[in-house]
Amino acid sequence: MRRSSGGKGSEMGFGVASLNLFLHLLLIQLAHGREFTSDNYLRLPSSNIGDEVEDDFSAQMMVESEEHEKENNGHFQAHSLSHMDQTDPNIMVFFTMNDLKVSKTMPIYFPKNDPSTTPPRLLHRDEASSIPFSSKELPNLLKFFSFSQDSPQGRAMEDTLRQCENRPIKGENKLCATSLESMLDFTREAFGWVDFSVVTTTYLTNLSTSFQNYTILEVPKEILAPKMVACHTMPYPYAVYYCHYQESENKVYKILLGGETGDKVEAVAVCHMDTSQWSRNHVSFQVLKIKPGTLPVCHFFAAENLVWIPTSE
Ligand SMILES: *[C@@H]1O[C@H](CO)[C@@H](O)[C@H](O)[C@H]1NC(C)=O
Ligand SMILES: *[C@@H]1O[C@H](CO)[C@@H](O)[C@H](O)[C@H]1NC(C)=O
């Protein structure tokens, strides 16, 4: 395994030859010590379960799925938009490039890792392909995982399947990856046959709270990445990543943040340079109080998301 320049623990570069090793390590990292029991199929926030599942879910999708509501196929979009009121801390991840300077302070939401819940396990492709992943199969899947349709888990599964089955918007490619192998295949397809690496947000301390004011401590570092594939975890009994990329220009940054409680985060953020095609209703425009196509829209990634970038030589 080769480290990319400037890489910390959160940045792993690899070539095709070392793919197996990487797979192995990531699978160990993600699956180690986790039993595939119904207790920890689905990671749920500990309090106020029903609402938060949906909030987390919607926020995550609204952050990255530009203008899906344009598609007009959905209950989900309408639902999440009405859900996203501007005081919801989950959506406090947006900023503009004007904010990208040392000493800038802004409130940011980073979901806390709850050590009492284990993240869902990432399946091997063989395992994943033996379980249907389709809303047509929802009744069987609910039975298989022992969740009732009305439970928060059941509703989350339904939402995830529906979101995964939505057609991508114009210019977007997407895949819901149910195994690391399928995520890597998708990424390889996006980048062509070049090395690539993954960058993630790293919490340098255990976060004392999910939502607080953070100050940019150092000059933000741009990670030169002509392309990127962002993969977001979705609530499901096993690990499912909603991966997507678009053709328009993005800039990727690593930003060292200090929280007012003393927490430290090495955050990965992306700036979407061209938002002219986004829906006017996109939640970021509401948060930032700007209009499509005016300023680039940037947002932070939660630690559990994966941002794949081609590795420059
Ligand atoms: C975070 O908390 C865990 C468990 O409570 C502990 O083992 C670990 O050392 C802590 N890490 C930091 C950076 O404080
Ligand atoms: C951030 O700081 C401002 C100004 O001090 C304060 O009004 C706001 O409540 C703080 N936000 C959070 C999330 O702590």
Residue 265: nearest ligand to its CA? 1
Mind giving me the DSSP string for 288-307? HT--TTTS-EEEEPPTT-EE
Number of helices followed by number of strands (H, E) in the chain: 8, 14
At 181 the pLDDT is: 95
Mean pLDDT in order along the chain per 10 residues (313 residues): 39 40 42 32 34 40 43 32 54 93 96 76 92 96 94 94 87 92 95 91 94 97 93 93 91 97 97 88 90 94 94 70
Dist CA 257 CA 265 (whole Å): 5
CB of 84 closer than 8 Å to CB of 58: yes
Dist CA 292 CA 231 (whole Å): 24
User: Which pair of structure tokens corresponds to residue 192?
Assistant: 């062509």
- Which residues line ligand 2 at a C-beta cut-off of 6 Å? 107, 211-213
Domain regions of the chain by residue span: 8-310
At 248 the pLDDT is: 86
CB of 135 closer than 8 Å to CB of 166: no
- Pocket probe mutation, ligand 1, options 112, 206, 208, max atoms within 8 Å of Cβ: 206
Please enumerate in sequence order all residues whose Cβ is within 8 A of that of 210, keeping only pairs 6 or more positions apart, or say none: 89, 109, 110, 111, 112
At 21 the pLDDT is: 41
In terms of DSSP bridges, do strands 264-272 and 250-259 run parallel, antiparallel, or are they unpaired? antiparallel
Kindly report the protein residue whose alpha carbon is nearest to atom 6 of ligand 1. Answer: 206
Q: What is the distance in A from the centroid of ligand 2 to the CA of 6?
A: 33
Angle at 229 between CA 227 and CA 232, to 5 degrees: 155
Q: What is the distance in A from the centroid of ligand 1 to the CA of 96?
A: 32
Q: What is the distance in A from the centroid of ligand 2 to the CA of 92?
A: 12
Kindly report the protein residue whose alpha carbon is nearest to atom 2 of ligand 2. Answer: 213
Task: Kindly state the DSSP code that residue 72 receives in the 8-state scheme.
Answer: -
At 32 the pLDDT is: 31
75 class by beta-carbon count within 10 Å (0-12 exposed, 13-18 middle, 19+ buried): exposed
**Closest among 97, 40, 61 to 172, alpha carbons compared:** 61
Dist CA 6 CA 11 (whole Å): 8
Q: What is the distance in A from the centroid of ligand 1 to the CA of 167?
A: 41
Secondary structure of residue 172 in the 3-state scheme: strand
Dist CA 114 CA 116 (whole Å): 5
Q: What is the distance in A from the centroid of ligand 2 to the CA of 107?
A: 7
CA-only gyration radius of the chain, Å: 19
